[in-house]
Structure 1
Amino acid sequence: MYDLANDKIIEDNQQVFALLSRYLNNAPDLIKKEEMDEIVKQGVSCEYAFSLLLASAYGMDIINNTVDKDRFNQYFTKMINKLDVKKYDSNSYLKNIKIPVVKTGSRFSEKKYLLQIWTSIFRSLG
């Protein structure tokens, strides 16, 4: 039997994963603290502000497009969580992780570890 609901979940997962991959690999500094502060002034959490900016930066129309709106509500409002930077800064294991520089073509990039990326993102956003 063909399961449309399961197909939609798979498609949504793939779309959100692709968006997050582009963000983490190509533009981890895309969202600026000043932009978030402007949205937070309207009375929303920093996590929600970050979600809005990320969705907007990648062309999601959560006002007029029901697919984007549903995807945003299903994923974005649940997947962004502000980490306690002190908890990670005081962790002796994480303190010892070094991110080596790797040459790729003519550019240099760093291997990125998801935990460190999210920690550094929220550290820079205050």
Structure 2
Amino acid sequence: MVQRELSVSTRARAGEPVRTCVGCRQKGLAADLLRVVAREAESEGFALVPDPKRRLPGRGAWLHPDPKCLSEAARRRAFGRALRVSGSLDSSELDHLVGAVELSEAGHSGL
């Protein structure tokens, strides 16, 4: 028997939630995307905080854990619009997490 991976639309019909990445603007399953929320920082502005467990309160934006999607979202200033915040956004924590994910995936590809 041949097993095939179900497409996003087929899996979505099966009840899995679909979200849109703020970077590449492609639809994907929520399980494959990283939720990001904005938290008020000590200085003026907000900090982008990754929410891998999807439990933090507040409005969330969804992002593929890929540096290309992160840089595209930053270039288009998509986080401010998606999270409905204005002012400066500190993405250092998010940059660190996405970079760590990329490194771990690169380590597994050499197996």
TM-score by length of 2: 0.27
Task: From the two aligned structures, give the one with the greater strand fraction.
Answer: 2
Task: From the two aligned structures, give the one with the greater helix fraction.
Answer: 1
Q: Which structure would you say has the larger RCO, counting Cα contacts within 8 Å and 6 or more residues apart? A: 2
